[in-house]
Each structure stands twice: as structure tokens, then as C-alpha cells.
Structure 1
């Protein structure tokens, strides 16, 4: 059964079960869950569409058939594409060996099917439910981490630039132009980005573009549309950037990670 984001969060976070899941069919009018936190850890899995999760340390993207893991107690917000189909898995603290930081996990078909079954089951014997939970948590703890995130800090100038780029990802302004907008020299901004994020300015901006590109492609946009939205002069230039960053073309990436 599909419930609203708020109701699912409240209901499952109060449960004492080691793991519990719910399906969310996102409507056009309810695409965002504002900042909140849970007692339990939460895995957000998308079978259709995409989700972006923001935490104090970064912005995280989950394409179809991956999941965002948010440890218990961590403040976060979620924004989904219209008509996304999501599954929320809540995990009791200490019930599984999962990361203590927010991350994107690549989910195996077994893990995906167990989460779907757990969310859709209505009347299952306790022994069967316990077996399913044990298998799911064991398998989930072995899933690999995907590097689909944008490092963020509480540095106000970087947050200003990140927000501006998120709102207009096609802005191709140079480092010098961005520096002027936040009243810094070009070298000072370059050093600030490197110190705060561990990335060069160009790599940091590219990571944001990858997040937006995967989100848009997951929602059904064409490669041509995404290339234009990100300000690339040609589709081939966008595909080259994507391939260098992720090791494969946009179409193949979605085929592989789309199951």
C-alpha cells in the first residue's frame, strides 16, 4: 500500500521491528519531504524516477535501483521526480552493519526484491518475516557504495554557488566570474573549494552536473534534453564528460543500474 511521505516516516520510525518497509508513489503535489530526521536509519530506494537527498555534508542522488542510506538521527531532506515510485526501508539502530555516514548504495536484485516484498506483504507469519528480515539485513550490509554525491559544507559562499548552480545547471560561468559574484579572487575561491570539498572547482561543478543529469535521465529526459539543460555545446561533449566520470555512456549506465 502506498502512503504519504510524512505518514510513512512517522509510522515506521515508531516501530520496534529490526526492519520495516513501505512503498511511496510520489504525486505531482507531494514531491518533497522537508528537513527532518528519524530515530532509525532509512534507506530510500527508487524503482521509477529519481530522488535527491540533502544532508549537512552533501547532496546525494539515487537513480533507479540504487538506494540512499541515511543513518539514524541525521537531518535530511528528500526531493523526488514527479511520479517516482519509492520504497523506504527503516532499520533499527544496531540491527545491521551499515555505514555511519550518508551514502548511495548499489542494490542487488535480491535486496531490491526483499524490500519490495517486505513493503507489499500484508499477512506473513512471524517466523517467515524474521527469516526475510535476517536475509535482507545480511545482504544489505554487503552492498557497495556508489560515489554519486556533491560534497557540501556550511561555508556560506560555497552554498550560495551550489544553490545557484542547482537552480541553473546550464550556467557555464568561469571560476573568475563565480569568484567575483561572491567577492573573492579567483585563486581564493579555487583554494576554498579544494579545502572544503577535496575537489577542484571544475570537478565539484561536474559532480553537481552528474547528479542533475542522472536525476533527469531517470525521470525520462533524453540525452539531448539533458545536454542542452546543462549548457553543453553538443551531445557528444556531454556524453564524453559522462563517460570519463562514470566509465560508461548515459544510456548504458541507465540500462545497467535500471535492472
Structure 2
């Protein structure tokens, strides 16, 4: 995944005198990747072809499973994390060229056409000539990004330091199914106050927020190859069928079919 300066041919995208710069690695890489909060002038589209990554930006958490992408406008701070096999591409877009792209961070579905255009653009030299076919293709690439479908792979994150402590514990141990009253007591807050702050900062009630967290973690783990039974257990569900029902209600399709459709887009 072209996220590190140590990659062959890497140039800092903000220093490249082209409105659109695309990097890619054509073979899977394995291990652990973590980049702390940073920002760039150019916007960034991160596309995962295989594997999954997570991104925290603008007070939200996004999961990027195979055949999806996240768009991060220029100037927005982001932190990235990935474990295991990961193969993908990243497109950097100057703000002047991306006027029609979303003004906020969002997860986007990547169609076969958009995928092939990203891959093709990654083969261009970073200083591709002006007025040539490369410039025409990257212009079409921007058009495709601008009409990509937004996916429901986003979790609003609270800013309150006490609620962030709860988030950290939930991420470390998602199977810990405490009631809201127990979590409130755990951080020395009344249940009513916790509900008010969570609703104000995320737009969600506790139950819905926790379910969305489970959905995002499930997508990430399934993308790494974890079996459904294991994912259900790791999220604290008593049975796989109850987890499957929750997943289908949240994303409109059972987890096995959801992941199968993504593998078929290659």
C-alpha cells in the first residue's frame, strides 16, 4: 500500500507539480501499518483492492474493506491503521482540481471502471506531460470519483475525553457488552449526562452507536479472512445467527454475501 515514504519512487505528493498524483503497489504486503495524525494540502483517495484499513479523521472512524475507498479532503488530519495483507492505491488531488469532490470525509464504493482507472493512473510517471492522454485520463478519474456511491462504513467519534476512554476500551475488547448505565458509572458520569453528550457529539444513541461500531469491526475482520463464527464471538454475540441478523439489518445483506460480492469485483 503506497502510504510510506520508504516506498520505491515515492515523492511527497504536495511537492509534485501535478494536480493529481497516484501511487500503487501491485503486490500484496503483510504486516502492521500505523500512521499517526497528519495532513496534506492535497486531498487523498485511499483505495483498498485486498485487505482492509481503518482511518480516523474529522471526529469519525471509517473502515475501508476490499473494493472500497475513503476520500479525505485536503487539509483534514487523518490517522491510518492496517493489519495483515493489504494491497491498494492512493490518489492525491489538488484542491483546485477536486472542486466537485465531496467536501467531507466519506467512504466510497469503487466500481470496476473506477478501479481500472486508478490502476492505470498509478502506472503514469508523477510528472506526466500536460495536455496528453495521461491528463485526459486523470480528468475522467476525477469525474468517476465525484459520482461514486457513498457507503455506510462510518462511525462518528465523540470528542469528550471520558467517552473517548470508553471507545478505547471497546476497541480493545469489543466483546465486553456492558450496559450504558455500567459504562456511565465506569467513567463517573450519570447515564443521562452520558446519553446527552454522546447524542450531541455523534448524533446517535448508545445502542445504535455500539451496533455501528460492531458492524465496522466485523467488516474489517471479515476482510482479513476471519470466519463468521469467530467474528460473532469476538463481538460478544451468543450465536452466529444473531450476529448475521444484526449485520444484514445494518448493511442490507448477510456477511458472507457482502464479502463474496467484493471478492468477485476483482
Superposition TM-score tier, normalisation by shorter sequence: over 0.9
2:258 corresponds to? 253
Q: Provide the C-alpha distance between the structure 2 equivalents of 1:59 and 1:4, rounded to a whole number of angstroms.
A: 18
Report matched runs for 1:29-48 at 5 Å.
30-48=32-50
- 1:12/1:171 CA distance change after superposition, 3 Å: same
Displacement of 1:125 in angstroms is 6.5
Q: Are 1:100 and 2:103 counterparts?
A: yes
Q: Provide the C-alpha distance between the structure 1 equivalents of 2:143 and 2:114, rounded to a whole number of angstroms.
A: 10
- With structure 1 as the length reference, what TM-score do the two structures score? 0.93
Q: Are 1:112 and 2:115 counterparts?
A: yes
Which ranges of structure 2 fall in alignment gaps of 5 or more residues? none
1:54 corresponds to? 56
Report matched runs for 1:170-181 at 5 Å.
170-181=175-186
Instruction: Indicate the SS of the match to 1:145.
Output: coil
Q: Provide the C-alpha distance between the structure 2 equivalents of 1:3 and 1:158, rounded to a whole number of angstroms.
A: 33
Q: Provide the C-alpha distance between the structure 1 equivalents of 2:102 and 2:29, rounded to a whole number of angstroms.
A: 27
Instruction: Indicate the SS of the match to 2:85.
Output: coil
After superposition, the C-alpha distances for 1:130-173 in whole angstroms (9 at most, x for unaligned) are 12111111111111211211101321122111111111111111
Range with bigger deviation, 53-62 or 36-45: 53-62
Among 197, 204, 211, which residue is 1:199 paired with?
A: 204
1:187 corresponds to? 192
Q: Provide the C-alpha distance between the structure 2 equivalents of 1:141 and 1:238, rounded to a whole number of angstroms.
A: 34
Instruction: State whether residues 72 and 93 of structure 1, in contact with CA within 8 Å, keep that contact through their aligned partners in structure 2.
Output: yes
Instruction: State whether residues 50 and 62 of structure 1, in contact with CA within 8 Å, keep that contact through their aligned partners in structure 2.
Output: yes
Displacement of 1:100 in angstroms is 1.2
Q: Are 1:11 and 2:12 counterparts?
A: yes
Displacement of 1:26 in angstroms is 3.9
Q: Provide the C-alpha distance between the structure 2 equivalents of 1:205 and 1:10, rounded to a whole number of angstroms.
A: 40
Instruction: Indicate the SS of the match to 1:220.
Output: coil
- With structure 2 as the length reference, what TM-score do the two structures score? 0.90
Q: Provide the C-alpha distance between the structure 1 equivalents of 2:168 and 2:235, rounded to a whole number of angstroms.
A: 15
Instruction: State whether residues 6 and 33 of structure 1, in contact with CA within 8 Å, keep that contact through their aligned partners in structure 2.
Output: no
Alignment RMSD (CA, Å): 1.9
Q: Provide the C-alpha distance between the structure 1 equivalents of 2:177 and 2:59, rounded to a whole number of angstroms.
A: 25
After superposition, the C-alpha distances for 1:187-237 in whole angstroms (9 at most, x for unaligned) are 222222122211110110111111110001011111111111101000000
Displacement of 1:4 in angstroms is 5.5
Range with bigger deviation, 232-241 or 104-113: 104-113
Instruction: State whether residues 2 and 88 of structure 2, in contact with CA within 8 Å, keep that contact through their aligned partners in structure 1.
Output: no
Which ranges of structure 1 fall in alignment gaps of 5 or more residues? none
Displacement of 1:254 in angstroms is 1.3
Q: Provide the C-alpha distance between the structure 2 equivalents of 1:183 and 1:162, rounded to a whole number of angstroms.
A: 15
Displacement of 1:257 in angstroms is 3.3
